[in-house]
């Protein structure tokens, strides 16, 4: 059973095909796509808010010929204590795949163990792999030659440097650490000492036999030096609302200002998973910069997730 709950669930050798498929789906949008999910229903269990992820998955499943069933956690019995194990077994009898957004990454791992259908991680506190794949594709679109192969898209990422600013011990930073390792990119993260990448991502890299070669610094200007991408995310993630005041004070020195962005490479791209809080983690002028590709990132969630769905879906038996 193929699941997609972390970046490395696709091997490096599978990436050219996946990226090429995402690009062909993007170029062909407006014409019917191969209905690889025809006759299938995919359940989407969300325990947190979402604009991009929810809409792009619902639209993507529909465009691939399938039916999306959105289930707010509180509408189903899991919100009243039914176990993950039983929920997984029951849903596996009804639907053909699961898209899950929740807090604890171990809950998604538990689902994969008890489901007999593919599971896709739509964000946990630990990782947000769909975002990283769409982001990598978005940067590769800029860097690879027009008309190149999927291999060219993926190769355009190799050796590039991403600078990640702000909260460097939560889902987006963790996911970029793992993604950079998979895509052969360099990553430097800058934040306060208390926000350094944590044990969980280090343990994940070790388990996979990957080098712990990310750089962490408390100096934002050191991180962005020679960077091809400057990336940030909200300072207060979903579930951290009670810490908002403290986070805003402690992370303030890591805001992506026009001055900080100008200290990266002259052709560096600005990226943000969104939603953004202008005037907090990033200045409005940076969001509006011609080298800001935030809305391309958002659009590419749709195309990349359709390619991911097509790759993990199991065809109905004839």
**Nearest distance in Å: CB 301, ligand NVA:** 10
Q: Is it true that the peptide bond before 110 is cis, omega within 30 degrees of 0?
A: no
Interface residue with ligand NVA, options 42, 170, 195, 261 (CB under 6 A): 170
Q: Out of 273, 276, 298, 302, which residue is the one contacting ligand NVA (CB under 6 A)?
A: 273
Check if the beta carbon of residue 246 is closer than 8 Å to that of residue 46: no
The catalytically annotated residue of 52, 105, 128, 160 is: 128
Does 131 qualify as catalytic in the annotation? yes
- Of 233, 247, 297, 303, the catalytic one is 233
| Residue whose CB is less far from ligand NVA, 113 or 244 | 244
| Residue 87 interacting with ligand NVA (CB under 6 A) | no
What stretches of 75-127 show up as alpha helix (H) in DSSP?
A: 84-94, 105-114
* Eight-class DSSP state of 50: -
Which C-beta is closer to ligand NVA: that of 9 or that of 233? 233
Per CB under 6 A, does 6 bind ligand CP? no
User: Counting contacts by CB under 6 A, is residue 41 touching ligand CP?
Assistant: no
Candidate residues 61, 273, 286, 302; the one interacting with ligand CP per rule CB under 6 A: 273
Question: d(Cα 290, Cα 155) in Å, to the nearest integer?
Answer: 24
Secondary structure E strands in 173-233: 186-190, 215-217, 229-232
Cα(315)–Cα(35) distance, integer angstroms: 11
Secondary structure in 3-state letters for 227-296: CCEEEECCCCCCCCHHHHHHHHHHHHHHCECHHHHHCCCCCCEEEECCCCCECCCECHHHHCCCCECHHH
* Contact window for ligand CP (CB under 6 A) among 51-59, 69-77, 153-161, 177-185: 51-59
With respect to ligand NVA, which residue has the nearer C-beta, 127 or 309? 127
Smallest separation (angstroms) from ligand CP to the CB of 54:
6
Burial class (CB in 10 A: 0-12, 13-18, 19+), 166: buried
Q: Which does 51 bind (CB under 5 to 8 A by kind): ligand NVA, ligand CP, none?
A: ligand CP
Identified binder of ligand CP from the candidate list 196, 274, 287, 311, rule CB under 6 A: 274
CB 34, CB 40: distance < 8 Å: no
Q: Does position 240 bind ligand CP by CB under 6 A?
A: no
Nearer to ligand NVA, 70 or 103 (CB): 103
Whole-number Å distance between alpha carbons of 309 and 172: 21
Pairing of strands 97-101, 186-190: unpaired
Instruction: Determine the interface stretch with ligand CP among 32-40, 50-58, 283-291, 308-316 (rule: CB under 6 A).
Output: 50-58
Instruction: Give catalytic residues, as residue numbers.
Output: 101, 128, 131, 233, 273, 301
Binding region for ligand CP (CB under 6 A): 50-53, 123, 131, 273-274
């Amino acid at each position: 059973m193929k699941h997609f709950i972390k970046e490395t669930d696709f091997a490096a050798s599978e990436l050219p095909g996946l990226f090429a498929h995402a690009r062909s789906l993007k170029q062909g949008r407006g014409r019917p796509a191969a209905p690889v999910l025809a006759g299938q229903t995919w359940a989407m269990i969300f325990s947190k808010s979402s604009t991009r992820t929810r809409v792009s998955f619902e639209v993507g499943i529909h465009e691939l010929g399938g039916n999306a069933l959105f289930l707010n956690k509180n509408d189903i019995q899991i919100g009243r204590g039914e176990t993950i194990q039983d929920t997984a077994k029951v849903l596996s009898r009804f639907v053909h795949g699961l898209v899950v957004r929740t807090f604890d990454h171990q809950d998604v791992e538990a689902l994969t163990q008890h489901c007999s259908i593919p599971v896709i991680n739509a964000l946990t506190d630990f990782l947000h792999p769909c975002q990283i794949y769409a982001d990598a594709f978005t940067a590769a679109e800029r860097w690879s030659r027009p008309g190149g192969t999927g291999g060219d898209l993926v190769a355009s990422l190799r050796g590039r440097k991403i600078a990640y600013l702000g909260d460097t011990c939560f889902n987006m930073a963790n996911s970029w650490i793992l993604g950079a390792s998979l895509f052969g990119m360099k990553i430097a993260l800058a934040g306060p000492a208390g926000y350094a990448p944590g044990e969980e991502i280090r343990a994940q890299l070790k388990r996979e036999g990957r080098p712990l070669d990310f750089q962490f610094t408390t100096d934002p200007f050191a991180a962005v030096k020679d960077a091809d991408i400057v990336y940030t995310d909200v300072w207060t993630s979903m579930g951290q609302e009670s810490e908002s005041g403290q986070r805003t004070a402690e992370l303030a020195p890591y805001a992506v200002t026009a001055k900080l962005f100008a200290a990266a490479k002259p052709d560096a791209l600005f990226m943000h998973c969104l939603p953004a809080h202008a005037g907090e983690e990033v200045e409005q002028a940076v969001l509006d910069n011609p080298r800001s590709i935030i809305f391309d990132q958002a659009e590419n969630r749709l195309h990349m997730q359709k390619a991911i769905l097509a790759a993990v879906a199991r065809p109905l038996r004839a």
